[in-house]
Chain A
Amino acid sequence: MKRRTFLSNIVLSQGALLSGAQIARSSDADTNDSPRSGKTVMEPAREIPVIEEPDVLVVGGGPAGVTAAIAAARAGADTLLVERYNHLGGLWTGGLVLPLLSTHAIDKDGKFKQVIFGIGDEMAKRLKALDMAISEVNPVVDPEAAKYIFDVMTKEAGVKTLYHCWVSNVLLNDGRIEAVVLESKSGRVAVAPKVVVDCTGDGDVLHLAGEEFENFHYHIGLVHRLGNIDRIDTSKPGYKELRIGDPTPIPSVNWVNMHGKDNQDGIDMYTLSELQRQYRIEIWEKVQKIRSTPGYESVFLLDTASQLGVRMSRILAGAYRLTLADSMTYKNFPDAIGISGAWTSLLYQGRRYTTRERPLWQIPYRSLVPRKTKNLLVAGRCFSFETKLVEDARIIGTCIITGQGAGAGAAVAAQSDSAVQDVDVKRLRTILKEQNVYFG
C-alpha cells in the first residue's frame, strides 16, 4: 500500500518538508512565524512513531470538534479526537462563553423556531436534564457540567480522546495529509488518519496543509466568573447596582463577558500573551473594586477562563465561501449539511432585521471543503465564509452544525476511500438526517 510505504519513509519526508516549510514560511503573511531576534535554528530530521491510524482524526475538542468526533464515530468511523487542554468544549467551557447561541431563527413562513438539532440539541437536553442549562432559546450552560457531558458523550460514541496534545505539523503527500504530527508529554508523535477534520478554530491544520486562508483580526476578550452572587447584600448602606455579568445555571455564580481590544491578531503568540496578562490583571483589580463596594464583600473571582476569547482568526478559502446574502435569503444548497440560526440584529440591504426577524440559513458541505487537500475537512469558526457573516458563523451553534457535517462527511470519505471533494453528498445527508440534523 502506498500509504504504508510512505509512512515507513516518514523520516525522510520530515526532513525534506522542513526545508520546504521554511521557504514557505518566510513568504508567509503570518507574522507569528517570523523570528523577532532575526536568528533561526535548524531542527534535525528525526523518526517519529505513528501512534494511531484512525479513520478520522479530529483536531481540536471545542464545540465543533466534540460534535465532529461524535458524528464520525456514530457514522461508524474509528475516530480519534485530540485536544490541547484538559477538557472538551473549547471556548464553550474552558473559554467560559457559556451560551449556545443561534439555536433559533425564523423559517420561510416567518415562524420563530429551533433550528439546531442533532448532537447540539442532545448536548443541550442532557445538560437541561442535569439542571445545568438555563433558557430554551440560546441556553446558557454550566461549563463543568458541559465538560462532563462531552466526556460522557464521546465515550459512549466510542471516540478515542487524547488530551494535552497539540498539532505541530502536517505531512503531505500527493495532495493528502499522510500524517499529523502532535506534540505531547510523550514527545513528538504522529497520527496517520484516513481523513482529518480541522476543528482548531484557528485553522491550524488547514494552514499547515498549505490551504489558503484569511487571517481575520477581531476583538479578543477574557471571560471570568464571579461567585457568591446570591450573597450580595442589597440592604447595606452605600449599596449600588454594579455590572456583575449574567446568570449561569448555578445561582451563586455569574459569568462576565469581555469585549476586549478590537482588531487583534488571534494567532500571534506575543499578542495572546500580552492580552492574557493585561486582562488577568484588569479582571483581578476590577473584582477587588466590586468587593470593596458595600454589599458586595462576599463576591469573589471564581475563575478566569483557561483560554483567551479569540473570536476569530484564520478563515478557510474553501470550495465555497458562504455569504451573508446566502444567510438572509433562504438560499437552498443541494449539499446542505445543516441549518443554523441567528442571535443578533443586523442591517441588510438598507433594512433592519432584529434577532427575531432573522432567517434560518443552510450551510453547504462545500464551505467545509478545502480547495486542495483531498482528506481534510474544516469545521468551527474557521470554515469558509465571508467576513460579513462573521457574527453568526463564529458562534457555538454554527460550530456544532459544521462540526456534525464535517464529522459525518469525514466518516463517509474514510469509509468510501474517496476524496472529501468527491463525497457522496446524498449518503452524507442521509446519515445526518439519521443523526437528527434539521434540514428545514
Chain B
Amino acid sequence: MKIKAHFIRYASLFAAVILSLPLPLGILTGFYLWLSPYLFINSALASWRFAAFHGFGAAVLLLTILYHRWFCRFVCPTGALCDIASKWGSRKFTLRRVPSIHKHLFVTALCMAVLGIPLLNLLDPINVFTMFFDGFQSTPFAIVVLKLSGLILILLFSFIVPHCWCQRLCPLGGMQVLLTEIKKAIQDRLVSQKLTFNSGRRYFVASVIGLGIGAISRSLSAARLKNPLRPPGAAPESRFVMLCARCGNCVNVCPTDIIYTSLDMNDPIGALAPSIRFEESYCLPDCVRCGSVCPSGAITSFSLEEKKQLVIGIARIDLKDCLLTNNRECDRCKAFCEYGAIQIVTSEDDFSSYPEIVVDRCVGCGACQIVCPVGVISVVGITT
C-alpha cells in the first residue's frame, strides 16, 4: 500500500511538472490549480463566481471530508517534493519546535475571503508549484525571483525541519485537518453527545487577523487611483487584484503575449497580477483563452459573443500628430478596428478629417494603438 501511494504521488508530480511546462496545453494550462479545494473555497467566498472547472475543486473538497488528507498523500506535487527534501534534510530540528499554525492560517484565509480578499491564495501549495514553473517564463528578474522563491522557501523549510510545511504550515493541509476534526466532532456529538472540538482562542485570533487584514486590504485597494489594463473578463479592479492567484496561467496562454506579469512599485497590491500592454500585438477578437484558464475567477470565463462587451480600456487619440488630421494619407486605426469603434469625421471648422473613437463600441483591444504609424493612440484604463 505504501509503495502504491508513493507511485501515485510521483506519477502525479510528473504529471504536474508536464502540465506546468510551457507547452501548448490550451485549456489544460495550469490544470492542477483547478484541483485545489482551497482555491475553490476562496474564490467561491470572495466572488460568488463559479467556472465549470470549479467542479474539480468541489469534488476534491468532498472527498477530503471522506478520506483524511488523501489529496496530500496522492496528488499534491508540492507535498511530493517536500517529502524528497525532508528525506535529504537535516535531523537537527524536529517538528516539535514548529508551532502548528496551518489550521489557523486557513481560518485567517477564510475570513479574508469572506471579505472578498483571497490573498492567501498565494500560500496554496499548488499555486506555489504553478508559480515556480511560471517563473521560468517570466521577465523581468524581480518577477522571476518572486515567482521562484515560494517553492524554494517551502523546500528549504522542509530541508531544515523535515515535514514542517505539510504537517505544520500548509493552509491546504490545515483545511483538511480542520475538516476532519469537525467531522469527528460531529460524529462524537451524534454518538456520545460530547463536544470534543476545541474551538479555542487561537481560532478567534486567526479570525480577527483575517478580518483585520481583509478590511485594511479592501480600503487600500479601493483607494487606488490608477486603473491598469486587465485581461478581458476581469473582475472590477478592486476585486480583481484580490481574487487573482498570480498563477500566471493567463500570461502563459495568451496567444499574442499582451498579458504580462506586472510589478509596479507604485502598485504593491497589484503586484504580480496580470496586466495588459500593447506593443507588437493586440487582444484578438476570436480568443477566449485567458478566461478559460483562470482558476480563481479573477477572470471569468467568457464566450466569443460575450467578449464583444468585455472592455479592457478605451482608446484615446492624440490628434496633434495624427497623420490624417495633418492631411496625410492614413486610416489605419479605422481600417483595423474590428468593432467599428473608429470613424473618420470631417471637421466643419477647418475642413480637415480626423479619427474619432465611438465610446460605446470601443473595448480597448489595442489594435488601433499598435497599428498607428505615428503612435498617437493609446488604450487607457477606465475609471469607474
Chain A nearest CB from B276 CB (Å) reads 14
Q: Tell me, yes or no, whether A291 is within 8 Å of chain B by CB.
A: no
The reply to whether A344 and B327 contact each other, CB–CB distance below 8 Å, is no
CA distance A423 to B326 in the complex (A): 46
The reply to whether B256 and A344 contact each other, CB–CB distance below 8 Å, is no
Chain A residues near B335 (CB-CB < 8 A):
391
B338 to A, closest residue via Cβ: A347
Interface size on B, residues (CB 8 A): 28
CA distance A289 to B348 in the complex (A): 12
Chain A residues near B346 (CB-CB < 8 A):
259, 261
Can you list, as one digit per residue, whether each of A215-253 has a CB less than 8 Å from chain B (1) or not (0)?
000010000000000000000000000110110000000
Chain A residues near B264 (CB-CB < 8 A):
none
Contact of B331 among A219, A283, A347 (CB under 8 A): A219
Stretch among A160-168, A202-210, A351-359, A361-369 lining the B interface? A351-359
Given A243-B327, A347-B370, check contact A286 B351 (CB 8 Å). yes
Q: Which of B304-347 contact A (CB under 8 A)?
A: 324-332, 335-336, 344, 346
Q: Tell me, yes or no, whether A436 is within 8 Å of chain B by CB.
A: no
Q: Tell me, yes or no, whether B282 is within 8 Å of chain A by CB.
A: yes
Chain A residues near B328 (CB-CB < 8 A):
246, 257
CA distance A259 to B371 in the complex (A): 18
Chain B residues near A352 (CB-CB < 8 A):
280-282, 370-371
The reply to whether A259 and B281 contact each other, CB–CB distance below 8 Å, is no
CA distance A350 to B351 in the complex (A): 34
Chain B residues near A286 (CB-CB < 8 A):
350-351
Q: Which of B344-363 contact A (CB under 8 A)?
A: 344, 346, 350-353
CA distance A286 to B352 in the complex (A): 9
The reply to whether A347 and B373 contact each other, CB–CB distance below 8 Å, is no
Chain B nearest CB from A341 CB (Å) reads 15
Contact of A344 among B255, B281, B330 (CB under 8 A): B330
Q: Tell me, yes or no, whether B284 is within 8 Å of chain A by CB.
A: yes
Q: Which of A286-345 contact B (CB under 8 A)?
A: 286, 289, 344-345
CA distance A261 to B344 in the complex (A): 8
Contact of B327 among A256, A262, A346, A391 (CB under 8 A): A256
| Chain B binding surface, main DSSP class | loop
The reply to whether A243 and B350 contact each other, CB–CB distance below 8 Å, is yes
Given A257-B328, A259-B344, A262-B344, check contact A346 B371 (CB 8 Å). yes
The reply to whether A351 and B280 contact each other, CB–CB distance below 8 Å, is yes
Q: Tell me, yes or no, whether B119 is within 8 Å of chain A by CB.
A: no
Can you list, as one digit per residue, whether each of B359-380 has a CB less than 8 Å from chain A (1) or not (0)?
0000000010011110000000
Q: Tell me, yes or no, whether A417 is within 8 Å of chain B by CB.
A: no
Contact of B326 among A243, A260, A282, A350 (CB under 8 A): A243
CA distance A391 to B351 in the complex (A): 24
B328 to A, closest residue via Cβ: A257
Q: Tell me, yes or no, whether A137 is within 8 Å of chain B by CB.
A: no
The reply to whether A346 and B352 contact each other, CB–CB distance below 8 Å, is no
Interface size on A, residues (CB 8 A): 27
Chain B residues near A262 (CB-CB < 8 A):
344
Chain A residues near B330 (CB-CB < 8 A):
344
Can you list, as one digit per residue, whether each of A260-273 has a CB less than 8 Å from chain B (1) or not (0)?
11100000000000
Contact of B371 among A243, A245, A282, A347 (CB under 8 A): A347
CA distance A440 to B353 in the complex (A): 38
Can you list, as one digit per residue, whether each of B198-232 has a CB less than 8 Å from chain A (1) or not (0)?
00000000000000000000000000000000000
Chain B nearest CB from A219 CB (Å) reads 7
The reply to whether B351 and A285 contact each other, CB–CB distance below 8 Å, is yes
Chain B residues near A259 (CB-CB < 8 A):
324, 329, 331, 344, 346, 353
The reply to whether A354 and B282 contact each other, CB–CB distance below 8 Å, is no
The reply to whether B373 and A344 contact each other, CB–CB distance below 8 Å, is yes
Contact of A351 among B281, B324, B325 (CB under 8 A): B281
CA distance A344 to B371 in the complex (A): 9
CA distance A242 to B373 in the complex (A): 22
Q: Tell me, yes or no, whether A275 is within 8 Å of chain B by CB.
A: no
The reply to whether A344 and B332 contact each other, CB–CB distance below 8 Å, is yes
Chain B nearest CB from A327 CB (Å) reads 15
Q: Tell me, yes or no, whether A258 is within 8 Å of chain B by CB.
A: yes
The reply to whether A257 and B329 contact each other, CB–CB distance below 8 Å, is yes
A255 to B, closest residue via Cβ: B327
CA distance A246 to B330 in the complex (A): 14
Chain B residues near A354 (CB-CB < 8 A):
373
Chain A nearest CB from B212 CB (Å) reads 46
Chain B residues near A350 (CB-CB < 8 A):
255-256, 281-282, 284
Chain B residues near A243 (CB-CB < 8 A):
325-327, 350, 352
CA distance A75 to B336 in the complex (A): 42
The reply to whether B367 and A282 contact each other, CB–CB distance below 8 Å, is no
Chain B residues near A347 (CB-CB < 8 A):
282, 336, 367, 370-371
The reply to whether A355 and B373 contact each other, CB–CB distance below 8 Å, is yes
Contact of B336 among A242, A257, A258, A346 (CB under 8 A): A346
Chain B residues near A245 (CB-CB < 8 A):
327
Chain B residues near A257 (CB-CB < 8 A):
327-329
CA distance A286 to B331 in the complex (A): 22
The reply to whether A346 and B351 contact each other, CB–CB distance below 8 Å, is no
CA distance A184 to B340 in the complex (A): 45
CA distance A350 to B367 in the complex (A): 9
Chain B nearest CB from A392 CB (Å) reads 12
Q: Which of B140-184 contact A (CB under 8 A)?
A: none
Given A259-B353, A289-B350, check contact A345 B373 (CB 8 Å). yes
Chain B residues near A351 (CB-CB < 8 A):
256, 280-281
Chain A residues near B281 (CB-CB < 8 A):
350-352
Chain B nearest CB from A308 CB (Å) reads 15
Chain A residues near B331 (CB-CB < 8 A):
219, 259
A245 to B, closest residue via Cβ: B327
CA distance A173 to B369 in the complex (A): 54
A289 to B, closest residue via Cβ: B350
CA distance A258 to B325 in the complex (A): 10
CA distance A363 to B112 in the complex (A): 64
CA distance A262 to B342 in the complex (A): 12
The interface centre, meaning the residue of A289, A344, A347, A351 with most chain B CB atoms within 10 A of its CB, is A347
Chain B nearest CB from A333 CB (Å) reads 26
Can you list, as one digit per residue, whether each of B256-287 has a CB less than 8 Å from chain A (1) or not (0)?
10000000000000000000000011101000
Chain A residues near B284 (CB-CB < 8 A):
350
Chain A nearest CB from B328 CB (Å) reads 6
The reply to whether B370 and A246 contact each other, CB–CB distance below 8 Å, is no
B329 to A, closest residue via Cβ: A257
Across the A-B interface, the 4 shortest Cβ-Cβ residue pairs: A352-B370, A259-B353, A286-B351, A282-B351
Task: Please name 25 pairs of A and B residues whose Cβ atoms are closer than 8 Å in the assembled complex, sorted by A.
Answer: A243-B326, A243-B327, A243-B350, A246-B328, A256-B327, A257-B329, A259-B324, A259-B329, A259-B344, A286-B350, A286-B351, A289-B350, A344-B330, A344-B332, A345-B372, A347-B336, A347-B367, A350-B256, A350-B282, A351-B256, A352-B280, A352-B281, A352-B370, A352-B371, A355-B373
Q: A345-B332, A345-B372, A351-B281 are in contact. List 6 more A-B contacts (CB 8 A).
A: A219-B344, A242-B350, A258-B353, A285-B351, A344-B329, A354-B373
